[in-house]
Amino acid sequence: MSDFKGARKTNIPELPRIGDRVSFIYIEHAKINRQDSAITFADSKGIVRFPAAMIGVLLLGPGTDITHRAIELIGDTGTSIVWVGERGVRHYAHGRSLARSTRFLERQAKLVSNTRTRLEVARLMYQMRFPKENVSKLTMQQLRGREGARIRKVYRHYSKLYDVPWSGREYNPDDFEASDPINQALSASNVALYGVVHSIVVALGMSPGLGFVHTGHDLSFVYDVADLYKAELTIPISFEITSTIDDGDDISRFARLKVRDAMVDGKMMKRIVKDLQALLDIPDDERLYIDTINLWDDKDHLVDYGVNYSIGEL
C-alpha cells in the first residue's frame, strides 16, 4: 500500500484556463497550508479552504507563514506566488508567473525591439493620459514635452487645492531626508505604486525591465506603467498627506498606508491588468480577466467566498 497522501499531481491539460481562475488573492497575517488539493488559510477566525487550481496569483503580505506542502501544491497547479508588502505596495520576490507560456513576454520583447512598434506603444501610453487629444503623429520629444506640461499643471492644481507650497520635483535617491515634505511624500507614494505594478507585471510573465519610454533600468517597464496613474493616485495622495501631517510625523509611512488603502477594493489592480494587455495588444482570447478576493486579519472581515469556517482547528 502506498504511503502517499493527498491528491496526485495534476497534468497540465487538466488545469483550468487562466481566464477561469480567481486571479489575485491577497493574504496577510495567516497560516497557509495544504489539505488534499486545497490551499488552507488559517487565522484567528478559522480556516478558509480554496481549490489551488482556481488561484491565479497568490500575493503574500505581512505576517504570512506558508508550508512546504502548500508551495508544492502551488507549483503543481501552476499558481503564481508573489511576496509583497501591505496591499502589494512593496515587491520583494516572486516565483513562477501566472502565464504558462512566454507569449506575453515574447509579445513585449517583439514590440520593444522594433523602433516603429516601440513608438506606437509609447504613443498609446501617452494617449491614455490625453484621451481627448490625438497624439498618433507626435514624436517622443513632443510627447515628453506635453506630458511635462500636464504634470506641472497637476502639481500646481493640488498645491493650490491643499495649500501646500510647491517649487518643483526635487529629490535625492540616496538621501530621502534631504527633500521637503511634499517631495518625500511623492517619493514614498510612488515607490508604493511601483511595488503594486511590479507584482502585476511579473505575475503576468512580462519583463519589468523592457520599457517603452524608460530604458536602461531593471524596472523600466514598471516605471512606464506606473506613470499612467500618478496624476490621479500618488500626486493627490501626497499633497493631501502633506497638508495634514504634523512636524515629526513619519510622512513616508503615511504615504504608503494611503496608497495601500487606495488598493483595497482591487479596482486599480484590475485596471492595471487590463491596461497592460491593451498596451501590448493581447488578443481577446488570450487576455486575463481578473477578480480579486481578499483575506484579511482581525482588523477586517473575511470575504464570504468558498469559506469553510472551522473554529477551533487552529
Q: Which amino acid is at 152?
A: R
- Quickly list DSSP for 68-79: HHHHHHHHHTT-
Q: How far apart are the first and last CA of the chain?
A: 31
- Rounded CA-CA distance 90/253 in Å is 13
Cα–Cα nearest to 231, from 139, 118, 130: 130
Total length of the chain: 314
- Rounded CA-CA distance 131/150 in Å is 13
Q: 214: annotated binding-site residue?
A: yes
Helical H segments across the chain, by residue range: 68-76, 103-112, 115-129, 140-162, 181-203, 220-226, 234-244, 251-262, 267-279
The answer to whether the beta carbons of residues 248 and 239 sit under 8 Å apart is no
Name the DSSP letter for residue 225.
Answer: H
Phi, psi for 48 (deg, rounded to 5): -110, 130
The helix or strand, by DSSP H or E, that contains position 24, with its residue range, turns out to be strand 22-27
**SS3 state at 214:** coil
Question: What cell does 274 get?
Answer: 487590463
Q: How distant, in Å, are the alpha carbons of 120, 123, 136, 193 from that of 131?
A: 15, 12, 12, 22
- Rounded CA-CA distance 177/180 in Å is 8
Q: 174: annotated binding-site residue?
A: no
- Rounded CA-CA distance 43/104 in Å is 36
Q: 227: annotated binding-site residue?
A: yes
Enumerate the known binding-site residues. Answer: 147, 214, 227
Enumerate the known binding-site residues for Mn(2+). Answer: 147, 214, 227
